[in-house]
Each structure stands twice: as structure tokens, then as C-alpha cells.
Amino acid sequence: MPEKPTSIASQWFHAAEAAGDFMGIRYGRIARDSTEVDWSFVSHCDCDGIGGFARLLRNTGADLPSLPKTKNPNTGTFLPLWRMWRESRKQDLASTRPDWALSSNSQKGPSKALAWHLFTEAETENIRQASRSQNVTVNSLLLKHLDKAIRPDLRNSNASIPWMIPVNLRGQVQHSDDTENHVSWVEPKISPHDSPADIHHQVRHRLNRGEHRANYLTLGLGKFLSHRAKIKLITKDRTKPTRNIGAFSNLGVWDSEKSIDTTDSWLFCPPVAGGQLLGAGCVTFQNCLSLTIQAHPSLNNQPEIAQTWMTRWSQAIRRADVPSASTTKV
């Protein structure tokens, strides 16, 4: 059994790793005027997406005295848990895990089904302006187009799809290491006809009701479970027919003033797991937004699926608001 981490989220990630998942958070560094990516991985057992990126930047000499703190409400303890219990009793007709035909691929380690896209600074500003014009976050705009991009490959393209969106808890949760896991999540359910505004309002509603708080408190119950019991629960959970279809994570905006002495660009993607077959990540570094997407090895019977999703996703954004001078790569 691994050394017990201080963060309860880290304990669950250790259990997921023991259950067979690769828990490496993927980061890519692209030198100026290059299309080659230097990939690296930071274990989710040690830190969250923001923390892992901060570690990498600090290792290059960047001065990051503090990390982004949450602006979301702290809604207490009992009310969020009661709301979670009440919602769990409702019949859930959302998308199910057998959305795609799966292979018996037993590949270990990082997924090979991967694609990325890097927007220029001008394109990134256009995306921001498009979001402002609709009174929505960039997240809501990107998630709308991501959701639309994967629907043609679902068995039921009209399903309401639950997505997992990580939520930064820095400022509400304290650990001695600021890069450690300070993370929870919400799970909006998106229908094919939802607009970016619909998605924006649903996510805000879930945050205001404390869904992220309830999920974090529920994770905390794991302190009463052994490492082996956590592994069994994770394995059992993956047999349930209805869960989220994948993770969509945005690390936000970093170094918009370009104070870090570098000409490199960065990519980011959350891990994929046996119960979460799709991972999509975004980060805006020095005013350039990047997108990265990967599929679980069990989808490797469709080796081009990640590139297909990325092409649809990035082109949908470009058709809506963005000029064409950008780069897409597998």
C-alpha cells in the first residue's frame, strides 16, 4: 500500500491507480516554431491539474508565489449533502457508459488516442469576446462545442450527457503543499439542444447549490475506509450503467502579462480511467488557448477517434468566431 497522502482526494486517486488506471495528468510543452510536443506526466495521486502545472512552471524557474483561489461559494455542510441525497433518488435517464463500442485492449500507461489544438493569441481573444457577447464563460462555450463534437459517435446522440467538471477548492481547503489535490467537481447534464447560456446557468446553479461541496464531503467519508475497501468501491462503481461520460477541465489563464521568460506553449489534459473514457483539457498560457483530448485505451478499436473529436471541436469554435491561423495535431 502506498504511503498515506494527506489529501483525501489523493487517497482515492491512489486507489484508482491500484484498480488499474493510469493516473498521470498529461502536460505538453511546445517550443516556438515547432509542432513537436514534449509530453510529461504528473501523478494525480500527488496533485491536481493546477498544482501539476505550477510544479512544471516552477521547475523552469517561473515565480509563482500563489496559485488561483476559488471564487465559488462555500455552502456549508448539511444543506449540500441533503440536496445530493435528494437528487440521487430521482430517476436518471442520462447517457450510459456503453456509449461506444469497446475493445478488450489491456494497454497500460498513457493513452495513445490523443489530439491537440493550439489557438493563436488573436483567436483566443476572439473566443473571449464571443463568450462575453453571450454573457457566458469561456468554459461554457468550449463545453458546448465539445459536447457537440462527440455526439455523432454515441449510440444515442440525443441523450442527456453528464460531464465531470473539476472545481478548484483553494481558499476553502488548506494543505501544506499548495500543489496538492484541492479539488472537487460538478456534473452538469447537457442535452443536444442546450446553448452555451443554458450550460453556463446550469453550472452556476450547481455551484450555488453546493454540489461541489457535497462531492468533496462525500469523498471525505473515505477516511473511514481502508485502501482495499476504496479499490473495491471504485471497481463496483464502474459496473453502474449511468455515470459521467468524461472529464472537461480548464486550468484557466496563466501569465497573461508574459512575465515568465519563455516562448514555449503548453498543453494539458486530465487522465482517463475505466469509468471515465474521455478526457479533455484546456489552458490559456500567455494569452494562447490550447485544447487537448484523449480517449481511454478501451476505445482504441477506433484509433482516430481523438483526432476526429478534436477536428470537430476546434472547427466548431473557428466557424463560430475564430480566424483560421491555428494548428491541430495528433
**DSSP result, 74-135:** ---SHHHHHHHHHHHTS------STTS--------SS-SEEEEEE--HHHHHHHHHHHHHTT
- Assigned CATH class of 8-329: alpha beta
Count the neighbouring beta carbons within 10 Å of the beta carbon of residue 47.
Answer: 26
pLDDT at res. 102: 61
pLDDT at res. 1: 39
Q: Where residue 95 falls among pLDDT bands split at 50, 70, 90?
A: low
Identify the helix (H) or strand (E) that includes residue 168. Answer: strand 161-168
pLDDT for 74 beyond 70: no
Q: Where residue 89 falls among pLDDT bands split at 50, 70, 90?
A: very low
* Share of residues in the chain with pLDDT > 90 (%): 59
Which of 325-329's residues contact partners 24+ apart within 8 Å by CB, and which partners?
A: 325/120, 325/122, 325/123, 326/117, 326/118, 326/119, 326/120, 326/123, 327/35, 327/117, 327/118, 328/115, 328/116, 328/117, 329/35, 329/37, 329/115, 329/116, 329/117
pLDDT at res. 300: 61
pLDDT at res. 103: 60
Tell me if 187 sits within 8 A of 173, measured CB to CB.
no
Q: Alpha helices, DSSP H only, in the chain?
A: 8-18, 49-59, 78-88, 121-133, 138-150, 196-208, 211-220, 227-237, 305-321
- The alpha-carbon radius of gyration of the chain (Å, integer) is 19
Identify residue 281 by its one-letter amino acid code: G
C-alpha dihedral sign at 152, 156, 157, 163: negative
In angstroms, the Cα distances linking 9 to 61, 124, 166, 214, 220 are: 28, 32, 12, 13, 8
Q: Could you tell me the residue ranges of all domains in the chain?
A: 8-329
pLDDT at res. 2: 40
Mean pLDDT within 66-73: 84
Identify residue 295 by its one-letter amino acid code: A
pLDDT at res. 299: 77
Q: Which residue has the cell 447549490?
A: 209
pLDDT digits (tens, 9 = 90+) for 224-249: 999 999 999 998 887 776 678 899 99
pLDDT for 3 beyond 90: no
pLDDT digits (tens, 9 = 90+) for 96-131: 556 666 665 666 788 888 999 999 999 999 999 999
Tell me if 306 sits within 8 A of 115, measured CB to CB.
yes
Tell me if 30 sits within 8 A of 266, measured CB to CB.
yes
pLDDT for 190 beyond 60: yes
Bridge partners for 39 per DSSP: 28
pLDDT digits (tens, 9 = 90+) for 14-32: 999 999 999 999 999 999 9
pLDDT digits (tens, 9 = 90+) for 280-306: 999 999 999 999 999 988 876 566 889
Q: Where residue 324 falls among pLDDT bands split at 50, 70, 90?
A: very low
pLDDT at res. 322: 42
Identify residue 85 by its one-letter amino acid code: W
Return the closest-CA partner of residue 70 out of 200, 268, 177, 210: 210
pLDDT at res. 323: 41
Tell me if 242 sits within 8 A of 95, measured CB to CB.
yes
In angstroms, the Cα distances linking 85 to 90, 98, 115, 247, 260 are: 9, 25, 38, 23, 46
Identify residue 119 by its one-letter amino acid code: F
Q: What is the mean pLDDT of the chain?
A: 86
> Per mean pLDDT, which range of 127-136, 140-149, 215-224 is the poorest?
215-224
pLDDT at res. 200: 97
Identify residue 54 by its one-letter amino acid code: A
pLDDT at res. 55: 97
pLDDT at res. 321: 59
pLDDT digits (tens, 9 = 90+) for 252-267: 999 999 999 999 999 9
